């Protein structure tokens, strides 16, 4: 295997354009967004118009065709500026467009993927229920056969973009007893379908720009064209989406770590105590060095995983068992280390800022609250370790 860790001129140009856009349009709104706890509808619309909600989707389906590497560039830059915007894009792209691209029929791609990639429609992904978190195959929202189609009844929780999404990729049980092996099916549920409503939206520690919504389904009737992939194969759909999500979460964490490191460097060189800038003290230098080490390692890990996913392509039918297993392990490794390194890095950044780091509204204080969720969502880090250990015990190193 050839190792080439350089970005192409097009990828560099894309990064430059994203960075300029985010600094101009998004950076100025994040403090107020965080304080008001509101979905940043205006900046989301601008990002949709720029094509940032379809970056890895092929051009034939309305996307930019920049692959997972391009998508991680976007998420890395977003992670530097704001975790809420990055979570909104990731819930839509990793968890919404991936299932459609990997498992959708041609007609489903035209109907749901193309408008989503063009930024005309927003997507969400809904797996979690009150009794089904880490045990994600234990969903109890019922999918009952109703003529040609299906009737969906149950309550989903913690859905990012749940309040705003036009369509939700939603997992329901066609056979509760079978669980993840044949008992879970993925459905495309459109907002406005009779019987569908948005329930409570959670107040959260961070990610204040995102909605985290309860979705209520009361005999929601959908036709057979709303079933994504085969009946009973919804768990595959969810896991394929999460493999992409976990690497993109790594990219967003990488961005967040770089921002925290840059802020810490600037602060440490300017803050004088005992007659010297605090950057002259070894205790501070070692924290900065640890940040730089983690950033360096994570950058290689994220883009290695993204390039591997691009090499495999989006069609699961073309992946061997070994390729699928290696991809899933690599995504779990990236997600787990990225989220823990981000938490540690931002915690140290806060420490370098002293009391100022604890003051509401400073970037490092917001980053501290925003970062913690990455150890929990898209599968907790305990579950990532379960995934890695199982594969290790099965396949070896
Ligand atoms: C802000 C936010 C956004 C979210 N967005 C979405 C979304 O868009 N779509 C969606 O479907 N879900 C979403 N979630 C849900 C999220 O993925 C779950 O919260 C997460 O998977 C954990 O599930 P749980 O909260 O039920 O915790 P539990 O599964 O109850 O876990 C509790 C603790 O037990 C540990 N644990 C459980 N089982 C094991 C085991 N076998 N071995 C070791 N430890 C174990 C866990 O690691 C954790 O520490 C979101 C959650 C939040 C808070």
Mutate to test the pocket of ligand 1, among 88, 134, 369 (most ligand atoms within 8 A of CB): 134
In this structure, the residue with its CA closest to atom 44 of ligand 1 is: 382
Query: What are the pLDDT tens digits along the chain (397 aa)?
Result: 567 779 999 999 999 999 999 999 999 999 999 999 999 999 999 999 999 999 999 999 999 999 999 999 999 999 999 999 999 999 999 999 999 999 999 999 999 999 999 999 999 999 999 999 999 999 999 999 999 999 999 999 999 999 999 999 999 999 999 999 999 999 999 999 999 999 999 999 999 999 999 999 999 999 999 999 999 999 999 999 999 999 999 999 999 999 999 999 999 999 999 999 999 999 999 999 999 999 999 999 999 999 999 999 999 999 999 999 999 999 999 999 999 999 999 999 999 999 999 999 899 999 999 999 999 999 999 999 999 999 999 999 9
CA neighbor of 79 nearest in space, from 315, 337, 257: 257
Dist. CA 363–CA 312, nearest whole Å: 38
Dist. CA 286–CA 352, nearest whole Å: 11
CA of 376 from ligand 1 middle (Å) equals 6
> Is the C-beta atom of 160 inside 6 A of ligand 1?
yes
DSSP state, 8? Answer: P
Q: What is the CATH number of domain 124-228?
A: 2.40.110.10
Residue the block writes with tokens 């009844």: 153
User: pTM of whole model > 0.85?
Assistant: yes
State the Cα torsion 8-13-18-21 to the nearest 10°: 180
- Catalytic, 378? Answer yes
Instruction: Reply yes or no on domain 9-122 having CATH 1.10.3720.10.
Output: no
Catalytic residue among 77, 129, 365, 378: 378
Contacts of 105 (CB under 8 A, 6+ apart): 225
| β strands within 267-378, DSSP E | 272-273, 276-277
Q: On the CB side of 164, how many CA atoms lie within 13 Å of its CA?
A: 20
Residue 77 CA to its chain's centroid (Å): 14
Strands 272-273, 227-228: pairing kind: unpaired
How many angstroms separate the most distant Cα atoms in the chain?
79
Render the burial of 50-83: b for 16+ CB within 10 Å, e for the rest: ebbbbbbbbeebbbbebbbbbbbbbbbbbbbbbb
Q: If DSSP codes are grouped into helix, strand and coil, which group holds residue 386?
A: helix
Show me where the domains of the chain are located.
9-122, 124-228, 234-395
- Residue 137: enclosing H or E segment and its boundaries? none
Q: Which two tokens stand for residue 200?
A: 């409570």
Give yes or no on whether 9-122 and 234-395 have one common fold: no
- Return the CATH fold of 234-395: Butyryl-CoA Dehydrogenase, subunit A; domain 3 (1.20.140)
> Is the C-beta atom of 165 inside 6 A of ligand 1?
no
CA neighbor of 246 nearest in space, from 329, 160, 127: 329
The minimum-distance atom of ligand 1 relative to the CA of 124 is: 8
The minimum-distance atom of ligand 1 relative to the CA of 376 is: 20
């Amino acid at each position: 295997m050839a190792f080439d860790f350089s970005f192409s001129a097009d990828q560099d140009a894309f990064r430059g354009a994203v960075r300029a856009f985010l600094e101009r349009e998004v950076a100025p709104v994040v403090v107020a967004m965080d304080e008001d706890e509101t979905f940043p509808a205006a900046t989301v619309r601008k990002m949709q118009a720029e094509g940032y909600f379809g970056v890895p989707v092929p051009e034939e389906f309305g996307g930019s065709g920049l692959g997972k590497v391009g998508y991680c560039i976007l998420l890395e830059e977003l992670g530097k500026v704001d975790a809420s915007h990055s979570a909104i894009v990731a819930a839509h792209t990793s968890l919404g467009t991936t299932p459609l691209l990997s498992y959708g029929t041609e007609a489903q791609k035209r109907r749901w993927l193309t408008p989503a990639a063009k930024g005309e429609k927003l997507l969400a992904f809904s797996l979690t229920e009150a009794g089904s978190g880490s045990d994600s195959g234990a969903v109890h929202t019922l999918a009952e056969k109703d003529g040609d189609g299906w009737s969906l009844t149950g309550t989903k929780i913690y859905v990012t973009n749940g309040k705003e999404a036009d369509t939700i990729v939603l997992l329901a049980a066609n056979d509760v007893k079978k669980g993840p092996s044949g008992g879970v099916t993925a459905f495309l549920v459109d907002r406005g379908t009779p019987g569908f409503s948005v329930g409570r939206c959670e107040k959260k520690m961070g990610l204040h720009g995102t909605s985290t919504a309860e979705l209520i389904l009361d005999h929601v009737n959908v036709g057979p064209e709303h079933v994504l992939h085969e009946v009973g194969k919804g768990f595959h759909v969810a896991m394929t989406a999460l493999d992409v999500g976990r690497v993109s979460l790594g990219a967003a964490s990488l961005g967040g770590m770089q921002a925290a490191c840059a802020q810490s460097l600037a602060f440490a060189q300017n803050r004088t105590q005992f007659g010297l800038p605090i950057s002259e003290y070894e205790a501070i230098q070692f924290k900065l060095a640890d940040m730089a080490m983690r950033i360096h390692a994570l950058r290689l890990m994220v883009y290695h995983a993204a390039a591997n996913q691009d090499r495999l392509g989006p069609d699961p039918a073309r992946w061997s068992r070994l390729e699928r297993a290696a991809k899933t392990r690599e995504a779990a490794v990236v997600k787990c280390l990225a989220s823990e390194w981000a938490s540690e890095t931002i915690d140290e950044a806060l420490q370098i800022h002293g009391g100022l780091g604890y003051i509401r509204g400073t970037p490092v204080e917001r980053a501290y609250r925003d970062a913690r969720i990455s150890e929990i969502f898209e599968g907790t880090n305990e579950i990532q370790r379960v995934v890695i250990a199982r594969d290790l015990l099965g396949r070896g190193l």
